[in-house]
Chains A and B, each alone.
Chain A
Amino acid sequence: MTTAQPDVSKWPFQSVLVANRGEIAVRVLRTVQKLGLKGIVVYHAADRGTAAVKMADQAIEITGPTPVASYLDGAQIIAAAQASGAGAIHPGYGFLSENKGFCAAVEAAGIRFIGPTPEQIDLMGDKVRARNFVEKAGFPVAPSAIEDDDPKTFVERSRKVGAPLLIKPSAGGGGKGMRIVRDLALLEQEIERGRSEGQRYFGDGRLYCERYIENPRHIEVQVLGDGQGSVVHAFERECSVQRRFQKIVEETPSPALDAALREKICETAAGIARSLNYRNAGTVEFIFGQGGEFYFLEMNTRLQVEHPVTEEITGIDLVLQQLRVAAGEKLGYGQADVKSSGHSIEFRIYAEDAARGYTPTTGPILVLHPPQGEGVRWDSGVLQGGEVTSAFDPMIAKLIIRGSDRNDAIARADKALRETVLLGCKTNTAFLRRLLQHPAFVAGDVHTGFLDANPQIAAEPEMPAETLQALLGAAALSTRPMRDVADAVPDMHAAMGGWRN
């Protein structure tokens, strides 16, 4: 679907401040500037040389006790917006994007928040309240027990949910503090551990338990709402390939769905958003069992990291839709107008060492040649000459591939990953190639525990002797002291051959 370029002269804002960094700041600025609006970013000194700062029409430095803390300092960011005359703030993802207090403070300062209402953030930000809301609205949620309902009977009610079950902190996210219980004899002990982890990570020891789906898939649905009665979905994304509960590869369409199931899950998501009168782009996440059953997991009230695959198959610019809705426009189209074609896969390029437990790596970006070609999109916030530090998340870029079908997309992805040259800091590109060549991935038969169950994909494969020779040859010829020693021996001597030290 291609929508006409809106007439921004009628919009209540003519400049947008991006309260974020890295690739997502670049992504948002691209649409903002394409519309002819002024794009402003805030940045910490650690990000001075990054793509977003260079690209922005105006960049304002912010400070804090740590680089991350500066991007979480809502008051300072609102002050920067006011100083620069920004009419709207786009929060990106992470940081302040789902912070009700920030959203409310932005609007109280007379600035448009490019996102949902504070009430919608608040409701969906509390997993327990969100789940109850969705259940009451008549949509499927996994069988569960919530401690807050009646703390005295929590253990007993958890036992009734049955094994296997999953204990989660109520205030949690990102997989922190989650525990799987397969043997109910260990239930009380695991609840105590989950409580102490929840207390430690989130300062909140409240828990809930839910039925654990074995080998589940993670399928989510992109929704768009204008807060004025219109909601559409823009199909699903499958994000089952994860490490440490974090997504690595996302694609659409999901290989797990047929047309009937696709319509069911997408309509369920749209129904949930409709019952909220949702405003903004959002994502409804589901846990999807091997038998085709699915349950509401959570709703993210922001732009998602993996939004580009949806853009690639639908032709919708999701940031543009966020801006239009924030400006007060109606969606202006219905579900039948949202069409998809082809297949798209996103690969998260992480500065990390897969073979060492996916631990983050750091280093200078001495050479960066992004891949190019038909169906290849490179969303990145780093530039050659930049540096990857441990100050921020290790995701440095996203490679988004579009193909006529899934096999075509996989073939293009393998070529693009091969051609991605990034020297100075170890990344996961070689690991991603091993992953996409795995028969289970090729067959579309993966689940969220797939990488844990197949640790050989992360392991460094044995190096062929020829590769080692080539590397040592290249390294020796690139090292001054070795060349100097070699050059010091007269050619004639060397030409006679057989020289050894």
Chain B
Amino acid sequence: MHHAFKLGDAEHNLELSRSASAYRLHLGEQVVDVDLKTGADGRAWLTLGERHIEVVIATRGDDVFVHLDGEAYQLRYQHPLDRLAAQAGGSAEDHIRAPMPGSIVSVTVKAGDAVAKGQTLLVMESMKMETTIAAPRDGTVAAVTYEKGQTFDRDALLLSLEPMEKKS
């Protein structure tokens, strides 16, 4: 199995296995004894080797939110199948995602349009500032997700390009 979590922009591979009393976390060559006991109020105790650390954990879908040592973190579980699919076809440039939450001011292309690198695809607005989203490469628009006036969250898929044909 290939398990991974995304934390910030980095992806971390890991495995979890049973130990006699609890679990073991495998990070590359490192193996650490781990366990988690949750109380009624959502506060929990994480055992990490010899250490016991108070944490607060919440989950939603594939997101795990952890409050640890005075700070909050967000980790996203990467499904093994999704990761395989991502490796097999398509590149990050095919999917144009929102750099921040906002709304669509205008969309200048539609599915099927041929676009050139640098061409304006759409204009979004966030924090009272307009941002132009341009084509990262030459290609054909596969789909446009939002219409003028609609709002979206950060990392929302705004527009996708047809995958580039592999050079044989």
Contact = CB atoms under 8 A, between A and B. Distances in A.
B157 to A, nearest CB: 16
A470 B20 contact: no
Nearest to B151: A390
Interface in A187-218: 201
Interface of B: 1, 3, 5, 7-8, 12, 14-20, 23-27, 30, 32, 34-36, 42, 44, 46, 48, 53, 55-60, 62, 64-75, 77, 79, 99-103, 126-128, 151, 153-154
Contacts of A439: none
Contact of B5 (A363, A424, A472): A472
Contact of B58 (A356, A367, A489): A367
B146 to A, nearest CB: 13
Given A366-B58, A489-B17, A471 B72 contact: no
Given A424-B65, A471-B66, A483-B16, A390 B126 contact: yes
Interface residues of A, number: 55
A471 B12 CA distance: 11
Contacts of A493: 18
Q: Max chain B CB contacts within 10 Å: which of A363, A477, A491?
A: A477
A362 B48 contact: no
A474 B23 contact: no
Given A424-B58, A472-B75, A476-B5, 12 more contacts: A356-B100, A366-B65, A390-B103, A417-B70, A469-B25, A471-B7, A472-B5, A472-B27, A477-B16, A477-B46, A478-B36, A489-B18
A469 B67 CA distance: 14
Interface string A467-498: 11111111111110111011101010111000
A367 B60 CA distance: 11
B3 A474 contact: no
Nearest to A464: B69
A485 B127 contact: no
Given A366-B58, A486-B18, A501-B1, A473 B48 contact: yes
List the 5 closest A-B pairs by CB distance, nearest first. Answer: A418-B70, A494-B18, A390-B101, A366-B58, A423-B65
Nearest to A356: B100
B34 to A, nearest CB: 4
A176 B70 contact: no
A474 B16 contact: no
Nearest to A360: B101
Nearest to B130: A200
Contacts of B19: 494-495
A347 to B, nearest CB: 14
A390 B126 CA distance: 9
B34 A473 contact: yes
Given A472-B25, A477-B16, A501-B1, A359 B70 contact: no
Contacts of B32: 469, 473
A375 B44 CA distance: 27
B58 A423 contact: yes
Given A359-B99, A421-B72, A471-B66, A366 B1 contact: no
Nearest to B18: A494
A425 B85 CA distance: 28
